[in-house]
Amino acid sequence: MSLSQIFKTTVVASCVAMASFAQANSLEPAIEAGQKINQSAEKSQQKIDKISDDIQARLQQFKAINKEIEGLLVYNRQLEKQVANQEAEMADINESIDKVSVVERQVTPLMIRMIDGLEQFVRLDVPFLPEERTGRIADLKSMMDRADITPSEKFRRVLEAYQVEVDYGKTIEAYTSTLEVEGEVRDVDFLRVGRVALIYQTRDGKFSGAWDKNQNDFVGLSPEYRTQITKGLRIARKQLAPDLLVLPVSAAE
């Protein structure tokens, strides 16, 4: 190769190199800019992903809150119904209380009249168990003055006393007490047959008598009743089976 050709080749190579170098220098800013854009896009994408995740989380939270609100609305509607029912019940209770106050004012005089009537009845009745019966009436009178006993309890006890008196007319009973017989206070056995007969017999069996309503006192009985009276006492004490008794009774009027 001639010298001129070598020179030409060298010059061409130098020019190509210089062009390549210039081209490389001109592309480097573009590459750097592209890299920066890619990095910025990546960061933007990360921000977008984070915002999207946040939006999804808030959406789920929103849905959960909406469900809770729906449940609370249903619960509140139910509570409103319950409150309305309770208010209606309170109104009924208040009305009942007002009525009870009126009834109580009417019942108290009624109970007092019932106790007075019971006392009069016992005083005019056959005089069996006098201490027990008068004591019961005294307790009822004392009860009426007590503030720690409710009117309903007072009324229950008054009715209970009436029931006891009613039961006396359907039962047979024997009890022991004292009675003045032949001018001397003696221990006697009383036999009560309902309210139709109240008979006594001394412990030794020598004396016996029956309550006479007309004379308002006990009158003596003949010894022929002694066996029947003893039998009646044993029946009343459940020492004998129930059986027919022949006893003097007061005639119905």
3, part of any domain: no
Nearest residue to 245 via CA among 231, 237, 234, 236: 231
185, part of any domain: yes
Nearest residue to 189 via CA among 177, 197, 207: 177
Rounded Cα distance between 122 and 140, Å, is 14
Q: Is 199 exposed, middle or buried (0-12, 13-18, 19+ CB in 10 A)?
A: buried
Domain that holds residue 216: 172-253
181, part of any domain: yes
Helix (H, G, I), strand (E, B) or coil at 250: coil
Give Cα 66 distance to the centre of its chain: 40
Helix (H, G, I), strand (E, B) or coil at 71: helix
191, part of any domain: yes
pLDDT digits (tens, 9 = 90+) for 82-103: 888 888 888 887 777 677 667 7
Quick one: DSSP state of residue 239?
S
The order of strands in the sheet holding 208-212 is: 172-181, 184-193, 197-202, 208-212, 217-220
pTM comes to 0.59
184, part of any domain: yes
Number of domains the chain contains? 1
61, part of any domain: no
Flag residues of the chain having pLDDT under 50: 3, 7, 11-12
